[in-house]
Chains A and B, each alone.
Chain A
Amino acid sequence: MSDASQAMVEARGLGKDYGSTRAVDTVSFKVARGEVVGFLGPNGAGKSTTMKMLTGYLKPSRGNAFIGGIDVGDDPLSAQTKLGYLPESAPLYDDMMVLDFLEFAANLRGVAKAGRREKLKSICERCGLMNVLGKDIGQLSKGYRQRVGLAQTLVHDPDLLILDEPTSGLDPNQIVEIRQLIKDLGRDKTILLSTHILPEVQATCDRIIIISDGKLVADDTPEALTDGAAGATIQIVVKAKGGAALEAARVQALLSNIPGVRNVAGAESDGPGTLGFALRAASDVDPREGIFNTAVSNDMVLVGMQRRGVSLEDTFRRLTRGEKEGARA
C-alpha cells in the first residue's frame, strides 16, 4: 500500500495561480480516516481554493490532491464518488423542491433505486428537513438552505465530507444546530471543514490546519495550538508596600529570575495599593510554584495569581498576521 492510501485526504504540494496572483502557494497536509479537521485562515487565505482543488472542481497549478488514495487529477470521478462536498454559501437549484433536489443528487450519484426513498427520508430527518420537503429551495431561509446543502452531501453515504464554511451567515441558534449536526456526523465520517469562527473548531475538531496567504502555518490539535505553542500567561497581583514605583521595580526583577518565566510586564492592578504583572511562561513549564516560593522568601504579599491559556484567537492572529508581515518585508 502506498503512503497516500492510508490518508482519507492528502494535499501534496498543492498550489493554484490565477494569472499572476498566487491564490495558494504550496500546501501539504493529510487527514486520516475518522478525523474531524478544521481548516482555518483569514478571508482570502486560500481555504476555498484548496477545497475546490481537493474536490476536483479546480485543477491545481502545482502538486496533487488525493482522496482515499486516488489522485483527483488522474481520476476525478472515482475520487468524487468517495466524498460529499458543500461549496461555500451552499449553491442550490432554487427552482427545485427540496425532495426533488435530493433525488436529483442521488440520481447523479448513482444511488440504487431500491430503498432510496427511505434513505433520503432518514437523511432529511437527520438534517431536520422533514417539514420543508415540498418547498421550493428558493423560498428557504439561510439555515434551511445550509441544511439542504449538508443533506445533499450525504445522499450516497460517503466516508468523507468536505464542508466549506457550513455555518457562515447563520444566526447563533442555527450555528449551534448545524454544529451539533456536524459533530453527530463526525462520529462515523471523516470531515474537513473550513470556517473562520474559532470557537466552532474548538468545539468540533480533532485537529486544526491554519493557512495564511496560501501557505500552511499550523497543523496541530486545538490543545497544542492554545497551550503548547505560545505558553501560558500568568497574571499576578501583589500589594504595593512603601513606594509603588520602587516596589514595582523590585518585584519585576525578582519575577524575572524565576525559572520558566520568559518575560514580565506590568499589567492591570486590583485597585489602589496593588501592583499587577503579566508573566509569559515558557512552553510546558508551570512557574506558579516558583512564584509562590519567591514571594514567600522575599516578603512579597501575593494577593492574586491566575493562569490563562492562550486562546485559539491569539494563536490564530499571531500566526496569520506574522506571516503577512513576513511576506511584506
Chain B
Amino acid sequence: MHKVAVIARRELASYFNAPVAYIVIVTFLLVAGWMFFSSLFLMGRADLRPLFAPSPFSPSMLLVIIAPAVTMRLIAEERKSGTIELISTMPVKKWEIIAGKFTAAYALLAVSILSTLVYAFSVSAIGDLDWGSVIAGYFGMLLFAGALTSIGLLCSTLTQNQIVAFIVAFIVSAALYFVYWLQFFVPASLAPLVEFVSVSSHLESMARGVIDTRNIVYYFSLIGGALFIATRVLSRQRS
C-alpha cells in the first residue's frame, strides 16, 4: 500500500508544480458556480440539485471534459519519455502503479468537487437546505468523477500520445454521459438498458437525494473494470 502512496504523491506534486491543479480547481469552481447560480435564481429554491443533476450544461458535463484532461498524461507521458521503463523495472506491481495514478487524479477532481461546498454553505445561509440530499448528491458526484477518472486512466495506458488519450477518453465518457437522453428515442424495450448503461442516469438518482445500491454497484464495477483492464494493458507491454 505504501508504494501506491509514493506514486500518488509524486503524481500530485507534478499536478501542483505544473500549475494544472490550480487551473482545474479554479476553473471548476468558477464555471460550476456560474452554471449552478444561473439556474438557482431561476428556480428560486434552496436546492443544490442543479449542481449535481446531469444536463448538457452542468458541472457534471464539465467533468466529462476536465477528467480526460487531468488523466491524459498519467501513463501516456511515461511511455513517451521512457520513464515507464524506469518505473517498470523497480520492484513495483503494475496494480500499484495504476492505483497510485488513479488516486492522484481522483484526489484532484475530488478537491475540485468538494470546493463547491462553499456554494452549499452560501445557499444554506439564505434558505432551508436539506443536507441529506446534499450529501447524497456529493456522494454521487464523487462516484461519477471516479468513473470518469478510471476511463481516462485506461485511455492513457493505451497510447503514448496524450492528445489521443484525451480524445478517446472524452468520446467514451461523453457517449456514456449523453446516451441517457437517448432513452426517449429508442424502443421502449431498450430504454431500461440505455438507462442502465449511462453514467448520467445513476448520477441523476443520487442528485435527487436517493442512494440506491444499484447506483453504487454500477459505479464501483465501472471503476474496478476500467482499472483492471488498465493494469492488464500495462502488464502485457511490448514497448
Query: Which A residues are closer than 8 A to B by beta carbons?
Result: 18, 52, 55-59, 77-78, 80-81, 85, 87-89, 91-96, 100, 104-105, 107-110, 152
Give the complex CA separation of A56 and B3 in angstroms: 19
Contact A87 B82 (CB under 8 A): yes
Contact A91 B91 (CB under 8 A): no
User: Which of B1-17 touch A at CB < 8 Å?
Assistant: 2-3, 6-7, 10, 13-14, 17
Contact B92 A108 (CB under 8 A): yes
Give the complex CA separation of A57 and B82 in angstroms: 12
- In the complex where A108-B6, A109-B91 touch, is A92 in contact with B83 (Cβ < 8 A)? yes
User: Residue of B at shortest CB range from A101?
Assistant: B10
Give the complex CA separation of A112 and B115 in angstroms: 37
Interface of A is mostly: loop
Which residues from chain B contact A87 at a C-beta distance below 8 Å?
A: 82, 85-86, 89
Which residues from chain A contact B18 at a C-beta distance below 8 Å?
A: 95
Which residues from chain B contact A58 at a C-beta distance below 8 Å?
A: 237-239
The answer to whether the Cβ of B81 comes within 8 Å of any Cβ in the partner chain is yes
> A110: which of B14, B81, B91 is its contact (CB, 8 Å)?
B91
Contact B85 A91 (CB under 8 A): yes
Contact B82 A108 (CB under 8 A): no
Give the complex CA separation of A108 and B87 in angstroms: 9
Which residues from chain A contact B208 at a C-beta distance below 8 Å?
A: none
Give the complex CA separation of A96 and B87 in angstroms: 14
User: Which of B51-94 touch A at CB < 8 Å?
Assistant: 81-83, 85-93
Which residues from chain A contact B89 at a C-beta distance below 8 Å?
A: 55-57, 80, 85, 87
Contact B93 A77 (CB under 8 A): yes
Give the complex CA separation of A50 and B236 in angstroms: 17
Contact A94 B81 (CB under 8 A): yes
Contact B83 A91 (CB under 8 A): yes
Contact B90 A109 (CB under 8 A): yes
Q: What does the 1/0 interface line of B79-119 toward A look like (CB < 8 Å)?
A: 00111011111111100000000000000000000000000
Which residues from chain A contact B82 at a C-beta distance below 8 Å?
A: 87-89, 91
Which has the most chain A C-beta neighbours within 10 Å: B10, B13, B82, B92? Answer: B10
Q: How far is the CB of B95 from chain A (nearest CB, A)?
A: 12
Q: How far is the CB of B146 from chain A (nearest CB, A)?
A: 25
- In the complex where A87-B82, A107-B6 touch, is A57 in contact with B239 (Cβ < 8 A)? yes
What are 7 A-B interface contacts by the 8 Å CB criterion?
A55-B89, A88-B82, A92-B83, A93-B14, A95-B18, A104-B10, A110-B2
Contact B88 A57 (CB under 8 A): yes
Q: How far is the CB of A259 from chain B (nearest CB, A)?
A: 54
Give the complex CA separation of A31 and B160 in angstroms: 35
> A92: which of B14, B86, B90 is its contact (CB, 8 Å)?
B86
Give the complex CA separation of A93 and B93 in angstroms: 19
Which residues from chain B contact A105 at a C-beta distance below 8 Å?
A: 90
